[in-house]
């Protein structure tokens, strides 16, 4: 069974963190002590076990900073995350550890390594080089100091976002366009007869999609794009300066060159080539889509161009008027429990898995569920995962999958099965109905479950290559591919049933949803490209320039006027959450995910044969081979943008 989270306290978080650090330190000291006669197990094997201990400490302590209902536990978790992250950063700066690994690298045993073990040695030597061990003492000390400070900035930035609260207060008339069940879940405002609409996604997104009041949409959007700006802008600016200096110390022209060395792209030039192949085909599509939305908006008496707080509303209005689609009515066919069952049935059949809910989850909140994943052919227990679906005060505000125990082999060679968790903020149940998911939330559920499968099915022997530990610009592809199954009529009709009547979702409704799927796809892609372009703009240049000017230049790809008076980077948690010089990876991975799904589309959308190959070539190897090699093995060729563009009508 996984860890018993019902016993967690702030003190237990600290003690679990102490224990993890103590275990890891003991293993590392053993590495140093064995340097006179190094072996693989005494050096790299021990370092990997130390990494697994730190990951376990994260799962039992630091992770709870993202989700525990007790603020004191969350605070202890944030503190624990900083301690563990600092340890990870410091490890590769230790000269004695470097020398121990270097001593092993010079042995005949090291020269004879092959496969995952040879890759492991190469990665550790790369880590030590990136930590400055080829620099002089003064430069190396400066590098370590900057790296440690970056960890502090990243933790503070994330904590500011998690703790930040803001809202608008609206009258009942200003909520026109929104369904009653949405309004019923809102808290009262400070004035009689008003309602409080917060920046939490279950409140923010429906308001931007459906509220008729354009001015209030604009007000809420601007608040969203200014989250924690006072606290986080100076942290981001300091982080950018430190990253620039770190890259300079290591001989890289920019931070992006340094960061992408360990990614699938390898260098920003390949990313620019990716955008150059995509964006020229986007411009005309974006302009034509915005023209249609503007005509629709002007017909209702609104002036000016379509803005960031207009396009989603106009998109939703167009879905209703042209295709007869209402996301609230569609949601009535997607009760959460049925969607889970359908997802389990699909992935079970395609990938050869069975699932079992564990009756007593022993989780951090009574609403959290625990599931076991079992190999269908052998009956082998593969993994556990927790599911925490609905928003709470202080909880992580997006949707994401977290590793709580990394799958690996222990010191005796026995497999330690992985444990992971999904945190999401889906529309919660009400007193008279179950949790009903918008179709976009169904996509999100399948997407995040793709991460769970990637973590759970990994067969890597070492923690370095397990979990989601593949290149960060590929790690989203096994999740992007999952989204396509949520649009297949035969699959939806297995589980999409009206929560009151039990009637399956009508075929005609699914067809209209599919026809409207890529409606305004150009704008959607443009917005994603904006995020990737601004990330490149601040990380792929030799100097940190005018960030506000860079925001305006990057935003031009959306075709909409820049939202003046905002600084969205203060709430862009990815930039200090591991996706720096890597946000392009979402669109990059989506292109690869589409290309991989093309095999299912051509050869059998629920084919267990293709599923077995996908599991064998993509999910199970995880980080044990380069992502380029994995994709080539599954596709039989280099990845292409063709399927992505074809699906969206831009081929």
Count CB neighbours of 186 within 10 A.
Answer: 19
Helix, strand, coil in percent for the chain, rounding step 5: 60, 10, 30
d(CA 52, CA 46): 10
Which single residue is written with the structure tokens 């990815």?
574
Q: For this structure, is 174 an active site residue?
A: no
d(CA 17, CA 271): 38
Angle at 547 between CA 313 and CA 148, to 5 degrees: 110
Q: Nearest Cα to 92, choosing from 117, 57, 128?
A: 128
What distances in angstroms separate CA 299 from CA 281, 314, 615, one per listed residue? Answer: 29, 12, 51
The three-class DSSP label of residue 419 is strand
Using an 8 Å Cβ cutoff, are 352 and 612 in contact?
yes
Query: How is residue 172 written in tokens?
Result: 């009942």
DSSP track, 152-215: HHHHHHHHHHHH---EEEEESGGGTTS-HHHHHTSEE-SSTTEEEEESSHHHHHHHHHH-S-HH
Four-residue CA torsion sign, 482, 486, 490, 495: positive
Query: Which pairing describes strands 194-198 and 187-188: parallel, antiparallel, or unpaired?
Result: antiparallel
Of 79, 314, 405, 448, the catalytic one is 448
Count CB neighbours of 38 within 10 A.
Answer: 21
Contacts of 268 (CB under 8 A, 6+ apart): 254, 256, 257, 260, 536, 540, 581
| Residues with catalytic function | 448
């Amino acid at each position: 069974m996984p860890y018993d989270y019902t016993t967690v306290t702030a003190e237990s978080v600290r003690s679990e963190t102490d224990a993890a650090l103590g275990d890891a330190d003991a293993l590392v000291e053993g590495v140093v002590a064995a340097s006179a006669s190094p072996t693989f197990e005494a050096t790299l094997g021990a370092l990997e076990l130390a990494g697994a201990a730190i990951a376990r400490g994260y799962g039992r302590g630091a992770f709870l900073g993202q989700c525990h209902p007790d603020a004191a536990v969350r605070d202890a978790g944030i503190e624990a995350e900083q301690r563990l992250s600092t340890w990870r950063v410091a490890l590769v700066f230790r000269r004695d550890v470097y020398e121990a690994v270097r001593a092993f690298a010079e042995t005949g045993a090291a020269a004879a390594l092959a496969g995952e073990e040879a890759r492991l040695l190469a990665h550790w030597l790369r880590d030590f080089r990136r930590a400055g061990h080829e620099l002089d003492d003064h430069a190396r000390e400066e590098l370590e100091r900057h790296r440690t400070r970056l960890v502090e900035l990243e933790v503070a930035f994330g904590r500011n976002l998690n703790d930040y609260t803001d809202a608008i207060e609206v009258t009942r008339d200003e909520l026109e366009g929104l369904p009653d069940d949405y309004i019923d879940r809102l808290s009262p405002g400070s004035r009689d007869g008003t309602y409080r609409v917060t920046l939490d996604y279950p409140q923010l997104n429906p308001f931007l999609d459906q509220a008729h009041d354009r001015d209030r949409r604009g007000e809420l959007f601007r608040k969203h794009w200014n989250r924690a700006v006072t606290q986080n802008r100076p942290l981001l600016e300091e982080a950018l300066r430190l990253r620039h200096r770190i890259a300079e110390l290591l001989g890289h022209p920019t931070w992006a060159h340094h960061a992408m060395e360990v990614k699938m792209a390898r260098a920003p030039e390949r990313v620019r080539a990716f955008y150059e192949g995509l964006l020229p085909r986007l411009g005309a599509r974006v302009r034509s889509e915005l023209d249609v939305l503007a005509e629709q908006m002007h017909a209702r008496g609104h002036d000016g161009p379509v803005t960031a707080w207009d396009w989603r509303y106009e998109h939703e209005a167009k879905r209703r008027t042209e295709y007869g689609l209402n996301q609230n009515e569609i949601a009535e066919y997607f009760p959460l429990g049925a969607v889970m069952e359908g997802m389990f049935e699909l992935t079970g059949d395609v990938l050869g898995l069975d699932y079992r809910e564990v009756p007593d989850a022993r989780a951090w909140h009574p609403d959290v569920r625990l599931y076991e994943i079992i190999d269908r052919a052998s009956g082998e227990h593969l993994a556990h995962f927790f599911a925490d679906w609905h928003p709470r005060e202080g909880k992580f505000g997006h949707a994401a999958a977290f590793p709580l125990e990394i799958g690996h082999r222990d010191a005796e060679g026995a497999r330690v099965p992985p444990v992971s968790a999904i945190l999401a903020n889906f529309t919660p149940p009400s007193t008279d109905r179950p949790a009903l998911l918008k179709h976009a939330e169904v996509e999100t559920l399948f997407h995040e479950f793709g991460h769970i499968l990637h973590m759970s099915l990994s067969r890597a022997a070492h923690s370095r290559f397990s979990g989601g530990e593949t290149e960060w610009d590929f790690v989203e592809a096994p999740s992007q591919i999952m989204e396509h199954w949520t649009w297949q009529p035969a699959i939806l009709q297995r589980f999409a049933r009206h929560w009151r009547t039990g009637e399956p979702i009508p075929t005609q409704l699914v067809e209209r949803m599919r026809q409207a799927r890529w409606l305004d796809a150009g704008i959607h892609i443009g917005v994603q490209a904006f995020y990737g372009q601004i990330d490149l703009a601040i990380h792929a240049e030799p100097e940190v320039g005018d960030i506000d000017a860079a925001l305006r230049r990057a935003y031009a790809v959306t075709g909409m006027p820049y939202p003046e008076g905002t600084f969205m980077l203060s709430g862009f948690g990815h930039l200090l959450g591991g996706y720096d010089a890597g946000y392009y990876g979402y669109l990059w991975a989506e292109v690869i995910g589409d290309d991989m799904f093309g095999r299912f589309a051509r050869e059998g959308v629920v084919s267990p044969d293709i599923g077995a190959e996908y599991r064998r070539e993509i999910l199970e190897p995880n980080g044990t081979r380069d992502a380029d090699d994995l994709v080539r093995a599954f596709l039989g060729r280099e990845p292409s943008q063709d399927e992505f563009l074809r699906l969206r009508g831009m081929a």
